[in-house]
Chain A
Amino acid sequence: MSTKTPEKTARSGAPIVLQIFRGDADSAGGEQRFEVPAVEGMVVLDAVHYVQANFANDLACRWNCKAAKCGSCSAEINGRPRLMCKTRVDEFGDREIHVGPMRTFPLIKDLVTDVSWNYEVNKQIPGFTPAANEPVPYKMLPEDTERVYEYRKCIECFLCQDVCHVLRNHDDKSAYYGPRYMVRIAALEMHPLDTRKRTGLLHGQAGIGMCNITKCCQEVCPEHIKITDNAIIPLKERTATDVHDPVARIARKLNPFSGAAATTDLVAARDGQASAPQRFAVKDVVRLKARGRRFARVASVLPDGKLEVWVLHMNGSVQHWDGPKIVRTSDVTNNYGPLDEVGIGGKLVEQYITEDHAAEQHG
């Protein structure tokens, strides 16, 4: 809460003009104008608190940490979904600051909306399910966990849900879980020790097909999670594979990155080799549909467009991987058959190449 005393704040510069939405579900509501003394480094939440303490004691807003860690103070500020605690008032210059509630959710009062639908959606997602015999303490290699951290950064501010046009414009909350829960499902699906399959859910109830990749959600994410690029698109691929290509699904069950036990086997299988243990970053994995009994896996797409490939041999139940080999894409397709046609084919390889390039150049 604001701890500044009026005497102190009154000294610093021209007042800030706030237009705050006031009203509840039973009334039409509208903006109310307030002038707040400017304080150095003030954020919108401070200004709202000042109004609350001095002019409108019953002004309803949610907040907790005031440090952009809890995701409580979501609002629409000059039309854009943002956290009030992270939005400086000085970025608006002399302009009035309009603060309103998130419009995708039913209004309770003033800046507070009923976000309970999100919590209900969350209950429908099967939680983390490790193998029953997974030894504790868990062993997970950093390379296998790295990918998941991005999803786990989510602070559940629901700004992505607010901006998602499927949820917002069509008001069709029964067709799509929304970006937040794509991120949550991605975190579970990519957890190195999770054994559960949620692609049926994604294809059905969760409605991943409703997302047409406008990327609005990742633009408003205060945690800078690349929701569309790194959660929704990979889940769309995975869903397509599982729903339309059961063989590839079985292949993924053999994946080295789906469990520490498998990783250990692989490391053991490669004993005697001095190179680092074989690992695949999930993001770069491109499956190749192989002829016969061999599977190939692209470990990473190199900046020059070549592929780093490992080839799987099955010897009874023992997996053995050869690699990595640096090959041209055409070499792979010539030797191991066409690239997997269900969304992980040439087109997406190109996309990954482009994005990796961009990332490296900016990184």
Chain B
Amino acid sequence: MNQSYETLTTDVLVIGAGGAGMRAAIESAAAGAQVAVVSKSLLGKAHTVMAEGGIAAALGNLDPEDNWQVHFQDTMRGGQMINNWRMAELHARESPDRVYELETYGAILDRTPDGLVMQRPFGAHTYRRLCHVGDRTGLEMIRSLQDRIVQLGVEVHMEVTLTRLLKDGDRVVGAFGYNRVDGRFVAFRSKAVIMATGGWGRLYKVTSNSWEGTGDGVGMGFDAGAEVLDPEMVQFHPTGMVWPSGVRGLLVTEAVRGEGGYLTNREGKRFMLEVDPKKKELSSRDVVARAIYKEVQAGRGTEHGGAYLDVRHLGAEKIKKKLPSMYEQFLRLADVDITRQPMEIAPTIHYAMGGLRVEPETGATTLPGLYAAGEAAAGLHGANRLGGNSLSDLLVFGRRAGAAAGAYVREVQLGNVDERQVTEEQRILLLPLSADGTENTYLLQQQLQQAMQDGAGLAREEKSLKTCLDRILELRQRSARIHVPGSRKYNPGWHTARDLRFMLTIAEAIVRAAIERRESRGAHWRLDYLEKDPALGRVNFIAYNDGGQVKLKTRPVPEMPPELAKLFAETPSSSPSPPPAASPPKPQQVRT
């Protein structure tokens, strides 16, 4: 007893229209495939637009010593060596070309006096490496990709939410969902699906993420049987706004520190000088976030429970030129003039290192026909992502997934749509509208966000994680009794009800893996296991769907080939923190 739905057919279905999705679409189209891009929002609004700091690429425009090997090492060390080395290698090798390519789409990055692409320093990057446009790099990227998509005539379906992958046997052959505007159901039949749906920052209460970061793409992949790698690795960005409470969590770009901003506690002490004397404020994000947390815990926090971030010494002119949106953001939302007053900041949830497990070269997941790229995929960043590595990730692996899917669809035919899967998904979707439940979908979502913030946040321990897991499981039960008033016509309550199911799945995967990783590594900080465990440093956790249950298994971290491993010989990977920026590897050490 299916409700009617529209069926659209394409070669490659790209779910998500952020940086990764659009870059993938461009490449699939270039390979001659028919491409449809599906976006939950209007085109150009995806979370990529919020990226501020820049695109990490070893162009060496300012520091000629920089090269892909150094970028590779920085990325691996930042990820505490549980990254997929091959992804890190491809990323470091290819990101320069992707940056240049972006300019051929019409982007104009900030420039050196000689007309080259300007680069700025960033946390845990040995050299000045981040290509940027002031503090609106993400906007420049998304607009350039959007323009390219329009130029290529790629079909875009705006405000369509897909909620289930359709399978023909093991193979992914499309996806099913609804049109947000009128609530009509829609099925896409495609030869390949590229999941580029971003992360799951909305799982937490204090987050820098837009509403879209609900983990739905990874949740869909998980439901369909794909493996989710490193779910426990969730990054706190050290600097989010803390006050006023209405803007709590809003990102304060790392470029503030890149341009010379420093952190102090309530007593005016610059605590990063002790925590990481070499890199200071530009240590990796996990280190800086923990340092701020510890200051607050020790009673040296600011009035609203954070630290001060100060740029006044840069002078008003530089602040307004290099950090215009930060200046505007604080002035407008917090009545703080950052040229005269320090900013008050605290860590905010920012990025999911975990995601669908993919093949480095192709972005192929463990399911045939399903690819993933960007934040929805995992492996590149390991236990902690370096700032700027996300935008380059989108371009490098968006392109690779797009190319691989473009090639794959030449070899296969459209699969069959199994009506039972459509019926089942329609039932799930319609339940909150028809059921006479009493639960409010928004309030359940808020309770989940609170539970994750309390139990699976920056500082974790077994007890808090287990409590959090119990709360998630309880919320999952209650979510079956959600009732949403109104019709299917542009009904955000109805949309949220389905999002919540994905959020609960991902939350459970995060917490289960966080319990099992009985060590502190990168973004995963266990108060009851403060040290690294070398044995756990050799494995990644994988969450998978076992008959509707979230199950965990481990997988050995892929072993680096000797020529790359020897790059790390000088400074062993078991060192407690990444090596100091002031002693970059000599060129002869890094050239293989």
Partners in one complex: yes
Q: Which of B205-213, B263-271, B291-299 contacts the other chain?
A: B205-213
Interface string of B320-354 (1 = CB under 8 A from A): 00000100110011100000000000000000000
Residues of chain B lying within 8 A (CB to CB) of residue A142: 110-113, 115
A316 is an interface residue with CB less than 8 A from chain B: no
Q: Which of A59-67, A199-207, A321-329 contacts the other chain?
A: A59-67
Most A C-beta atoms less than 10 A away, residue of B49, B150, B205, B443: B49
B28 is an interface residue with CB less than 8 A from chain A: no
Taken together as a complex, chains A and B put the C-alpha atoms of A88 and B331 apart, in Å, by: 12
Taken together as a complex, chains A and B put the C-alpha atoms of A142 and B108 apart, in Å, by: 10
Residues of chain A lying within 8 A (CB to CB) of residue B328: 68
**Contact residue among B104, B108, B138 (Cβ-Cβ distance under 8 Å from A140):** B108
Q: Determine if B329 and A67 form an interchain contact, defined as CB atoms under 8 angstroms apart.
A: yes
B440 is an interface residue with CB less than 8 A from chain A: yes
Taken together as a complex, chains A and B put the C-alpha atoms of A258 and B245 apart, in Å, by: 48
Residues of chain B lying within 8 A (CB to CB) of residue A188: 106
Residues of chain B lying within 8 A (CB to CB) of residue A192: 108
Q: Determine if B150 and A127 form an interchain contact, defined as CB atoms under 8 angstroms apart.
A: yes
A39 is an interface residue with CB less than 8 A from chain B: yes
Taken together as a complex, chains A and B put the C-alpha atoms of A64 and B492 apart, in Å, by: 12
Q: Determine if A128 and B106 form an interchain contact, defined as CB atoms under 8 angstroms apart.
A: yes
Q: Determine if B140 and A127 form an interchain contact, defined as CB atoms under 8 angstroms apart.
A: no
Residues of chain A lying within 8 A (CB to CB) of residue B210: 63-66, 70
Q: Determine if A191 and B251 form an interchain contact, defined as CB atoms under 8 angstroms apart.
A: no
Q: Determine if A69 and B243 form an interchain contact, defined as CB atoms under 8 angstroms apart.
A: no
B446 is an interface residue with CB less than 8 A from chain A: yes
Question: What is the minimal beta-carbon distance from B476 to any residue of chain A, in angstroms?
Answer: 20
Residues of chain A lying within 8 A (CB to CB) of residue B205: 3
A197 is an interface residue with CB less than 8 A from chain B: no
Residues of chain A lying within 8 A (CB to CB) of residue B110: 142
Residues of chain B lying within 8 A (CB to CB) of residue A108: 181, 489-490
Say whether, besides A53-B440, A69-B49, A156-B44, A128 and B486 are in contact (CB < 8 Å): no
Residues of chain B lying within 8 A (CB to CB) of residue A153: 136, 139
B103 is an interface residue with CB less than 8 A from chain A: yes
The residue of chain A having its C-beta at the shortest distance from the C-beta of B442 within the complex is A53
The residue of chain B having its C-beta at the shortest distance from the C-beta of A4 within the complex is B245
Say whether, besides A41-B334, A72-B42, A137-B117, A53 and B246 are in contact (CB < 8 Å): no
Residues of chain B lying within 8 A (CB to CB) of residue A127: 106, 147-148, 150-151
B491 is an interface residue with CB less than 8 A from chain A: yes
Q: Determine if B489 and A24 form an interchain contact, defined as CB atoms under 8 angstroms apart.
A: yes
Interface string of A62-89 (1 = CB under 8 A from B): 1111111111100000000000001010
**Contact residue among B103, B332, B487 (Cβ-Cβ distance under 8 Å from A68):** B332
Q: Determine if B490 and A72 form an interchain contact, defined as CB atoms under 8 angstroms apart.
A: no
Interface string of B108-128 (1 = CB under 8 A from A): 101111111100000000000
Residues of chain A lying within 8 A (CB to CB) of residue B450: 3, 5
Say whether, besides A39-B246, A70-B210, A149-B133, A62 and B143 are in contact (CB < 8 Å): no
Residues of chain B lying within 8 A (CB to CB) of residue A145: 108, 111
**Contact residue among B104, B150, B487 (Cβ-Cβ distance under 8 Å from A138):** B104
The residue of chain A having its C-beta at the shortest distance from the C-beta of B487 within the complex is A58
Taken together as a complex, chains A and B put the C-alpha atoms of A24 and B487 apart, in Å, by: 12
A42 is an interface residue with CB less than 8 A from chain B: yes
A232 is an interface residue with CB less than 8 A from chain B: no
B529 is an interface residue with CB less than 8 A from chain A: no
Residues of chain B lying within 8 A (CB to CB) of residue A154: 143
**Contact residue among A24, A64, A69 (Cβ-Cβ distance under 8 Å from B211):** A64
Q: Determine if A64 and B41 form an interchain contact, defined as CB atoms under 8 angstroms apart.
A: yes
Q: Determine if B246 and A67 form an interchain contact, defined as CB atoms under 8 angstroms apart.
A: no
What is the size, in residues, of chain A's interface with B at 8 Å between Cβ atoms? Answer: 67
Residues of chain A lying within 8 A (CB to CB) of residue B202: 1
A214 is an interface residue with CB less than 8 A from chain B: no
Residues of chain A lying within 8 A (CB to CB) of residue B41: 62, 64, 70, 72
Question: What is the minimal beta-carbon distance from B399 to any residue of chain A, in angstroms?
Answer: 15
Q: Determine if A65 and B50 form an interchain contact, defined as CB atoms under 8 angstroms apart.
A: yes
B545 is an interface residue with CB less than 8 A from chain A: no
Residues of chain A lying within 8 A (CB to CB) of residue B101: 136
Q: Determine if B332 and A86 form an interchain contact, defined as CB atoms under 8 angstroms apart.
A: yes
Residues of chain B lying within 8 A (CB to CB) of residue A63: 210-211
Q: Determine if B485 and A58 form an interchain contact, defined as CB atoms under 8 angstroms apart.
A: yes
Taken together as a complex, chains A and B put the C-alpha atoms of A84 and B325 apart, in Å, by: 17
B397 is an interface residue with CB less than 8 A from chain A: no
Q: Which of A114-122, A164-172, A307-315 contacts the other chain?
A: A114-122
Q: Determine if A149 and B134 form an interchain contact, defined as CB atoms under 8 angstroms apart.
A: yes
Interface string of B417-443 (1 = CB under 8 A from A): 000000000000000000000001111
Q: Determine if B104 and A130 form an interchain contact, defined as CB atoms under 8 angstroms apart.
A: yes
B568 is an interface residue with CB less than 8 A from chain A: no
Taken together as a complex, chains A and B put the C-alpha atoms of A339 and B414 apart, in Å, by: 65
B581 is an interface residue with CB less than 8 A from chain A: no
B100 is an interface residue with CB less than 8 A from chain A: yes
The residue of chain A having its C-beta at the shortest distance from the C-beta of B116 within the complex is A139
B408 is an interface residue with CB less than 8 A from chain A: no
Question: What is the minimal beta-carbon distance from A73 to any residue of chain B, in angstroms?
Answer: 10
CB contacts under 8 Å to A, within B193-248, are: 202, 205-206, 210-212, 243-248
Interface string of A167-188 (1 = CB under 8 A from B): 0000000000000000000001
Taken together as a complex, chains A and B put the C-alpha atoms of A60 and B491 apart, in Å, by: 6
The residue of chain A having its C-beta at the shortest distance from the C-beta of B212 within the complex is A64
Taken together as a complex, chains A and B put the C-alpha atoms of A77 and B150 apart, in Å, by: 32
A155 is an interface residue with CB less than 8 A from chain B: yes
The residue of chain A having its C-beta at the shortest distance from the C-beta of B483 within the complex is A57
CB contacts under 8 Å to A, within B24-82, are: 41-47, 49-50, 59
Q: Determine if B333 and A1 form an interchain contact, defined as CB atoms under 8 angstroms apart.
A: no
B550 is an interface residue with CB less than 8 A from chain A: no
B494 is an interface residue with CB less than 8 A from chain A: yes
Q: Determine if A140 and B115 form an interchain contact, defined as CB atoms under 8 angstroms apart.
A: yes
Q: Determine if A1 and B486 form an interchain contact, defined as CB atoms under 8 angstroms apart.
A: no
Q: Determine if A52 and B492 form an interchain contact, defined as CB atoms under 8 angstroms apart.
A: yes
Residues of chain A lying within 8 A (CB to CB) of residue B104: 130, 136, 138
Question: What is the minimal beta-carbon distance from A121 to any residue of chain B, in angstroms?
Answer: 11
Q: Determine if A128 and B105 form an interchain contact, defined as CB atoms under 8 angstroms apart.
A: yes
Q: Determine if B139 and A155 form an interchain contact, defined as CB atoms under 8 angstroms apart.
A: yes
Q: Determine if A58 and B494 form an interchain contact, defined as CB atoms under 8 angstroms apart.
A: yes
Q: Determine if A137 and B100 form an interchain contact, defined as CB atoms under 8 angstroms apart.
A: yes
Most B C-beta atoms less than 10 A away, residue of A24, A54, A57, A58: A57
Residues of chain B lying within 8 A (CB to CB) of residue A46: 246
The residue of chain B having its C-beta at the shortest distance from the C-beta of A134 within the complex is B104
Question: What is the minimal beta-carbon distance from A192 to any residue of chain B, in angstroms?
Answer: 8
A112 is an interface residue with CB less than 8 A from chain B: yes
B369 is an interface residue with CB less than 8 A from chain A: no
A298 is an interface residue with CB less than 8 A from chain B: no
Question: What is the minimal beta-carbon distance from A156 to any residue of chain B, in angstroms?
Answer: 6
**Contact residue among A1, A56, A149, A156 (Cβ-Cβ distance under 8 Å from B108):** A149
Taken together as a complex, chains A and B put the C-alpha atoms of A167 and B46 apart, in Å, by: 27
13 contacting pairs across A/B (C-beta < 8 A): A43-B246, A53-B446, A57-B492, A65-B45, A65-B47, A65-B210, A67-B250, A70-B45, A70-B50, A108-B490, A119-B42, A139-B115, A154-B143
10 closest Cβ pairs, A-B complex: A41-B244, A58-B486, A57-B493, A128-B106, A53-B442, A127-B151, A60-B490, A139-B115, A64-B210, A41-B246
Interface residues of A (CB under 8 A from B): 1-5, 24, 39-43, 46, 52-54, 56-72, 86, 88, 108-110, 112, 114-116, 119, 122-123, 127-128, 130, 136-142, 145, 148-149, 152-156, 188, 191-192, 194, 260
Extra pairs beyond A41-B246, A127-B148, A140-B108 (9, CB < 8 Å): A3-B449, A5-B450, A52-B493, A57-B486, A58-B484, A70-B50, A108-B489, A127-B150, A137-B59
